[in-house]
Amino acid sequence: MNVNIVIGSNYGDEGKGTVVASLSKKSGNVLNVLTNGGAQRGHSILTKDGNITNQHFGSGTYYGADSFYSRYFILNPMQFVKEYDSLIVKPNNIYRDKDCRWSTPYDMIANHITEEQLDRTASCRMGIWNTIKRYQETNPMTLDEFAASEDPIKFLDGVKAYYEKNITIPSSWKDIWNSPIMMVHFINDCRYMSSVTKVSDLSMLSYDDMIFENGQGLLLCDTGKDTYDTTPSNTGILYSLELLKNIKSADITAHYVTRPYLTRHGDGNIMNFQDRQSLSSFVSEDRTNHYNNGQGDFRYGGLDIEDLKNRIIADSRGIKFEIDVTHCDEMDRINEFKKYFNVVNTYDSALV
């Protein structure tokens, strides 16, 4: 079985979706494994049907790939249903690990409130950190337990009470916070997601190709310090190798994705910050990353390729790897990359 692990090399937004979609097109029997993070990811591909942003599904979905949610991926039933309903091509099978954590609307709203009170743009506001901390401090249910519960409202009232002990709910949020309609909709979303997805162990699934699709990038990897501008997961190869331990005869290749320059959303530090036009006159305003209140401006920086190689080698753990450079039509640095990497795959910023 061929296994490709697609990893962002920088701060995210490198073009992982483009690489996953391109790899998926080459096989008619593909499983996209959503390795880490959650629905805060936004992996976009440009297709003949327009721009498609994948948050809760693999970026190969448009080309017929199935999806698997690993135990390191945080489910979001509301986003799942919204995205599932909008898919041009729906997967034949959607699998999830039995131990997947899942977010409630109250995790998301609490995330919004905290970011607003701190007046910062450092979060996608999908409640990822909040969900993780709630799991550590309370007694959660599995998605299936909740979906089958005779009194799901009792559990959700407990989640609300958990947050009400820690934050003050502003008057501007109280209507939605206390909305019985939202609660009923969420319960229905959970039941629907439970019914259309299948619990499975990854090692029990048989595919010609598995593509592990990481969220975020190496420069956002969890430091263990709970900093606001990193992500609470390992963004490199570690989780994929853990998930592959019980899978035999896997031919593994890691794909480290980068643009010829750096990009970053939000307030966090960015190395070698530069104005977009100073990088190259061909670097146009990004078509898939627009301003939003949660993440703030999309910023740019110069990429040091030697630094890039060092962090990739440190992450790769001896696994063979290739470098995948996207947006090559905007800045020609291919000869520079070839000085540092044996295999350089190139993509432009147009259709997959």
Rounded Cα–Cα distance for residues 288 and 35 (Å): 22
Residue 183 structure tokens: 């609660």
pTM: 0.93
**Do residues 52 and 87 lie in contact, with contact meaning Cβ atoms separated by under 8 Å?**
no
Helices (H), 260-304: 276-279
Q: Partners of 50 in the beta sheet?
A: 47
pLDDT tens per residue, range 116-175: 887 766 666 788 999 999 999 999 999 999 999 999 999 999 999 999 998 999 999 999
Give residue-wise pLDDT tens across range 227-243. 656 677 899 999 999 99
Question: Could you tell me the two tokens for 100?
Answer: 């997947």
Q: Are 320 and 254 in contact (CB under 8 A)?
A: yes
Other beta carbons within 10 angstroms of residue 189's beta carbon come to 20
d(CA 17, CA 36): 14
Q: Would you place residue 181 in the very low, low, confident or very high pLDDT band (cuts 50, 70, 90)? A: very high
Backbone angles phi, psi at 67, to 5 degrees: -120, 145
Q: Are residues 211 and 254 in contact, defined by beta-carbon separation less than 8 angstroms?
A: no
319 phi, psi to nearest 5 deg = -75, 140
